[in-house]
A and B are shown apart, each in its own frame.
Chain A
Amino acid sequence: MLEIDQLEVAWKGVTLNYDFTVDVGEILTIQGRSGVGKTTLLNVIAGFEQAAKGDVRWQGESLLPLKVTQRPVSMLFQEHNLFEHLSVWQNLQFGLVGDDIEQRIRQAAAVLEVSDQLDKSPLKLSGGQRQRIAILRTLLRPEPIVLLDEPFAELDSTTRLIANDWVRETAKAGNKTVLLITHQNEDVERVGDRNLMLN
């Protein structure tokens, strides 16, 4: 279980408070107005922001003393998810492990309709194509906690539905605990198990 326990974060002179739990294998969608602290929450869980008070625990163990590189977290940012000076395929080599990983990448790429983009430079891809490559890598990584910050923002309505379904199926198959920020109610209904509205 992921426990966000009486967490307080100082952000731009405001104190943000969080207190909730997420079950293992659950997909929690997070909504709220801009500036309410959705991204900040994911950054604290991933280790990029410091907490002022409270704790973040995974399976009973506090994550806060751990470095970013030691946390069991795979995160998708709003931007800069691919190294633009490396090819898409090179980008996909990072963080992915397993003997069958190449096959899994190709299968996922086929579903997400980016098979033809794997040998290209990220600079040659559209925003939506880049985002699908980044979603693919984030979900296929072995970490049990997955943090997705507006993953479908750049996708058109058709690819959005495809990506919605792939994210849910892959997360469930891998028993991932997912926190997903979105502004779209459609994503909440199609992907999430439960919705958290931050005020």
Chain B
Amino acid sequence: MTQLFGKFSLALLLSMTALAFYGLMGFSASKGNSGADWSLLHDSYFWSILGFSLKQAGLSAILSVVLAWPIARALYYSPWLPFRSGFLSLCLLCFIMPTLVLITGLVVLLGRSGLLVSGWVEGWNLYGLHGILIAHVFLNMPFAVRVLYQQMNNIPDTSWKLAGQLKFTPLQRLRWVEWASLKATFLRLFGFIAVLCFNSFAVVLALGGGPQATTLEVAVFQALKYDFNIPEALALAWIQFAITGLLYVMVSRWGSVNWLSAETSVRQWLPKPSALVSVFNAVLYTLVWCILLMPLLALIPGIAEMNWQKFNWQSVLLPTLTTLVVGVMSASIALVVAYGVLIPLRQSAIRGQHKLQLLHEWLGMHTLLAPAMVLSVGLYVYFLPRIDLDAWGMLFVVLLNAAVIVPFAAQHLRPRLLQFDQQYYRLADSLKLTGWARLKVELPWLKGTLLFSFSLVLLFAMGDVAIFSIFGDEDWMTLPWLIYRFAGTYRMAEASLASAILLLICAIIVLYFERSRRHAGN
């Protein structure tokens, strides 16, 4: 029964991707084309967007990691800095908040008549590579801070004591203790952020534009939305799938990035920074607090400009409710499917079949690599002649969102379940616990992890724009799509209000997430 459920979950996930590609290829064939348009490879347009995709991903990753390091050091070496746990929660919020909220804030601050640039920065333009980099760094640098800070917390006290006893200079400590502990993490972080930025959609859609600032994912969207050129979209999708897959394999080989457990552990002994370094740490810490808060606080002046008498609250309330319902449904389905896809993986791990375990892992994670846009459009094209998509579109929004966030849920459930198996699978088998009886033992073990995995994937599902742009129903608009619509028509006050509501919901979930994580002891 359990094994059957595992196979069913994996088959469900794989069939969605297979149907999406089948839909695209089938449509292409019905129009007299053989499939993907590979002549694109001879087009300079393609090489230009591929180059840009890689360049922006590489630069975003380097900048995020390099800028995060001194901040993580400030947190680590100056444990007396106030509100550090709040700062770490803010870092988490910045990483997982819906991108359109950030973009609204950035436009208010740095747009053509932005609060920070209007009047004194001549010829400034937020749109293009630098705008994309600013947004990507804002989203990913806080994530890198958490990862590096946690890794530094893993340096054993004994290493510092030994370094002190051997009278290491600060440079020697940096070289032989800190760098030695962090260098592998730098590589992993760089790879992980590069993959995220390579697949970035909303940021590039909002702040990019033109062949000079377009990524593969956005090019797929443009090929479908504006030209309805399926063969071109298919070729771009295959290439993106292949490159992301390659990057993913490379990053997996470097190991996984653990970023949730950034909680401070009680340290007995740490080298004391000099007075000058302490001052530098405090100034930097304060500065980063301000920088991270600025785009979020920038929503307030926008809201102040609202004409409340004319404002129709229902125009925001209904999307808020829709966002929550879609998010909760997608997150719940994703958790159940993630648990299911992990069953074959766990069984391979128990049997010591490492290659099979890797294969199951890849199959379970593959929706992370298949562009959400490709999945959406492929399924849209496949189901269009078969189902009334106007009536059932929102169901697809829920299901596809669930499919896309399954890898995130699986990634968090996996270590906890593998730990359970490592400690208890023999005991559970020996006690002849199977099916429901087994689940009743596993659920209390998983409770904390389930709660914070749910919060995390809920946040991701609530931020979706790509899937809604294809299947969404104007009568059932979600908050991110509403923000996109307001911003697209330069109604920045309304966009700010909708962004603030979404941000508030996300902040509440992040606080709950952090609390449940602490309770779970992870």
Contact = CB atoms under 8 A, between A and B. Distances in A.
Interface of A: 46-48, 68-69, 73-75, 77, 80-83, 85-86, 94-95
Interface in B416-445: 423-424, 426-427, 429-434, 437, 441, 444-445
Contacts of A68: 426, 429-430, 432
B195 to A, nearest CB: 34
Contact of B423 (A48, A74, A80, A95): A80
Given A80-B423, A80-B424, A69 B445 contact: no
B430 A73 contact: yes
9 contacts: A47-B429, A73-B430, A75-B426, A80-B426, A83-B424, A83-B427, A85-B444, A85-B445, A94-B437
A69 B432 contact: yes
Contacts of B441: 83, 86, 94
Nearest to B433: A94
Contacts of A83: 424, 427, 441, 445
Given A83-B445, A85-B444, A69 B426 contact: no
B429 A69 contact: yes
Contacts of A47: 429
Nearest to A47: B429
- The interface residues of chain A, by DSSP majority, are classed as loop
Contacts of A48: 426, 429
Contacts of A75: 426, 430
Interface in B375-425: 423-424
A47 B429 CA distance: 10
Interface of B: 423-424, 426-427, 429-434, 437, 441, 444-445
Contacts of B427: 77, 80-83
Give the one of A47, A75, A77, A83 with max B CB within 10 A: A83
A46 B437 CA distance: 20
Nearest to A73: B430
A65 B122 CA distance: 80
Nearest to A75: B430
B444 A86 contact: yes
Nearest to A82: B427
Given A46-B426, A69-B429, 16 more contacts: A68-B429, A68-B430, A68-B432, A69-B432, A73-B430, A75-B426, A77-B426, A77-B430, A80-B424, A82-B427, A83-B424, A94-B433, A94-B437, A94-B441, A95-B431, A95-B432
Contacts of B424: 80, 83
A75 B429 CA distance: 10
A48 B425 CA distance: 10
Given A77-B426, A83-B424, A83-B427, A69 B434 contact: yes
B516 to A, nearest CB: 15
Contacts of A69: 429, 432, 434
A64 B429 CA distance: 15
Give the one of B429, B437, B445 with max A CB within 10 A: B429
A41 to B, nearest CB: 15
A74 B430 contact: yes
A129 B426 CA distance: 21
Return the 6 tightest CB-CB contacts between A and B, nearest first. Answer: A68-B429, A95-B431, A94-B431, A69-B432, A85-B445, A80-B423
A53 B522 CA distance: 44
A94 B431 CA distance: 6
A154 B445 CA distance: 26
Contacts of A73: 430
Nearest to A69: B432
Contacts of B433: 94
A46 B432 CA distance: 11
B444 A46 contact: no
B431 to A, nearest CB: 4
A115 B220 CA distance: 67
A89 to B, nearest CB: 14
A85 B441 CA distance: 9
Nearest to A46: B430
Contacts of B437: 94
Give the one of A68, A77, A85 with max B CB within 10 A: A85
A85 B427 CA distance: 14
Nearest to B432: A69
A64 to B, nearest CB: 16
B351 to A, nearest CB: 10
A85 B445 CA distance: 6
Contacts of A86: 441, 444
B496 to A, nearest CB: 45
A75 B427 CA distance: 8
A69 B444 CA distance: 22
A81 B426 CA distance: 9
B423 to A, nearest CB: 5
B405 to A, nearest CB: 26
B168 to A, nearest CB: 39
A80 B431 CA distance: 13
Contacts of A95: 431-432
A77 B423 CA distance: 11
Give the one of A69, A77, A86 with max B CB within 10 A: A69
A48 B434 CA distance: 16
A39 B266 CA distance: 39
Nearest to B441: A83
A85 B521 CA distance: 12
A102 to B, nearest CB: 18
B441 to A, nearest CB: 6
A46 B431 CA distance: 11
Nearest to A67: B429
A74 B427 CA distance: 10
A154 to B, nearest CB: 17
Contacts of B444: 85-86
Contacts of A85: 444-445
Give the one of A73, A75, A82 with max B CB within 10 A: A75
A122 to B, nearest CB: 12
A84 B228 CA distance: 57
Nearest to A84: B423
Contacts of B445: 83, 85
Contacts of A94: 431, 433, 437, 441
A75 B431 CA distance: 9
